[in-house]
Amino acid sequence: MHKDSDGVRERHPLVIFAHIEKTGGTTLNGILRAYHGVYYSHVRALTEPGPPARRAVTMRDLSLYRRLVPWLRCVSGHAVRPWVLLEEGVQDAVFLTVIREPVSRYVSYYTYGGGSPRRPWPYSFEEYLDREEFHNYQTKRLAGCADANRALMRRLYLQPLTGLTRLFHGLPYSGT
């Protein structure tokens, strides 16, 4: 929060970056961290039960982060699911994400090892192709389901700051 010209405390909207794996999000995290400095935080789901890979950041989590860091203006993380926060009624927030051409992201995710390059998948690429949890992955992350129409409706909230990975070429932190 800061004071406007009349000395009244004003709260900035919280920038919430939904980082989808293998889309160029590390580049955007670097840009956000450099721009926001101490006003930025990488967030994880704190209050939702279940295995860490399945948890999502909730309003309760954001409230905890904001109590710990009252000046917080930007958060990001793999556990950020816009549809969860939208369904919980998040206010004063701006969402952004980066999407990647789906086939490239799909192959890259398999090649990377699903988040751990030192621990390869326990199944072949053909078996990976058959696994339902990886179908329409970006759509599921943004909308909470594989329904493209619902994802498009949710994207209306994300549209002002949604971008494509290929647009990162030449930016600082891009590694390209």
* DSSP β-ladder status, 74-77 and 93-99: unpaired
Number of domains within the chain: 1
Asked if the model's pLDDT at residue 160 lies above 70, the reply is no
* Residue 173 covered by a domain: no
Q: Are 16 and 85 in contact (CB under 8 A)?
A: yes
* Residue 174 covered by a domain: no
Banded pLDDT at 174 (limits 50, 70, 90): very low
Q: Which domain holds residue 126?
A: 2-168
Taking the C-alpha atoms of residue 137 and residue 63, their distance in angstroms, rounded to an integer, is 28
Residue 152's Cα: distance from chain center in Å? 17
For residue range 27-73, what is the model confidence (pLDDT) as tens digits?
889 999 999 999 999 999 998 887 766 789 999 999 999 999 999 99
* Residue 176 covered by a domain: no
The answer to whether the pTM exceeds 0.85 is no
Q: Dig out the tokens for 139 from the structure.
A: 């759509």
pLDDT at res. 170: 52
For residue range 100-132, what is the model confidence (pLDDT) as tens digits?
889 999 998 898 876 566 677 888 899 999 999
pLDDT at res. 121: 82
For residue range 5-33, what is the model confidence (pLDDT) as tens digits?
555 556 688 999 999 999 988 988 999 99
Q: Is the dihedral of CA 120, 125, 128, 134 positive or negative?
A: positive
* Residue 27 covered by a domain: yes
Q: What CATH number is associated with residue 11?
A: 3.40.50.300
* Residue 142 covered by a domain: yes
